[in-house]
Amino acid sequence: MSFGQPGGNPYGDQPPSFGQPGANPYGEQQPPQQPGYPAYPQAPQGVPPQQGYGYPQQPGYPQQGYNYPQQPGYGYGTGPQLAHWGLRLGATLLDGLIIMGPMYLLIGIGGAMGSDSAAAGILSLVGALYALGMGIYQIYQEGTTGQTIGKKAVGTRLLREADGNTVGFGMAFVRRLAHILDGLPCYLGYLWPLWDDKKQTFADKVCSTLVVRAR
């Protein structure tokens, strides 16, 4: 119907007004999209996907326990150089001289003064106490430092075979007692280091000890 005709629409064939049923408030245009995060661009074919955003992944650590490394035993072929039989003999002779020499000297002086005199008895007692005290001191030094006076003089050290540490006073004392095994079969145990691979006496084998060259 044209403009001006009765019942005609003065605006022509216009779309429904805003608010009317079926009306589009934006006309022919589509409503704007809500702002949002932009989509990640698609990677072209044949290109590996890029790592997403976020904290960078830490490189994995190897699956290993926190066990401390074992110390190598000081057996044959490893660790310090083993002390040969001559050094061991020299240390033993020096220690024996240091312990027993003053005792026999005091006993000898007392005997020269007469066995019935009180001075002879006192000197003999002093000599015996000296030998006992010096013997305990030597064992203590050997257990805590690995060296008696004789071993220190010739440059050797007593160590535990398993880990190369000092043996302690208790084991050093047990080792002195184990020297009885070295002397029983015609002193064969004292000669055993001459051909043994680890240069051990019988006492060393029983107590798992080694005599090595001091560094």
Domain boundaries, the chain: 85-213
pLDDT tier at 31, thresholds 50, 70, 90: low
pLDDT tier at 69, thresholds 50, 70, 90: very low
Average pLDDT over residues 37-50: 54
- pLDDT greater than 50 at residue 130: yes
Average pLDDT over residues 24-44: 53
- pLDDT greater than 90 at residue 146: yes
Query: Which range has the top average pLDDT, 8-22, 33-47, 193-207?
Result: 193-207
**Residues 163-183 as b or e (16 or more Cβ within 10 Å = b):** ebebbeeebbbbbbebbeebe
| pLDDT value for 184 | 87
pLDDT tier at 50, thresholds 50, 70, 90: low
DSSP annotation of 36 reads -
Q: What share of the chain is helix, strand, coil (3-state, %, to 5)?
A: 45, 5, 50
How far apart, in Å, do the first and last CA atoms of the chain sit? Answer: 122
| pLDDT value for 110 | 84
Indicate whether this model's pTM tops 0.85: no
**Six-digit token string for 144:** 């805590």
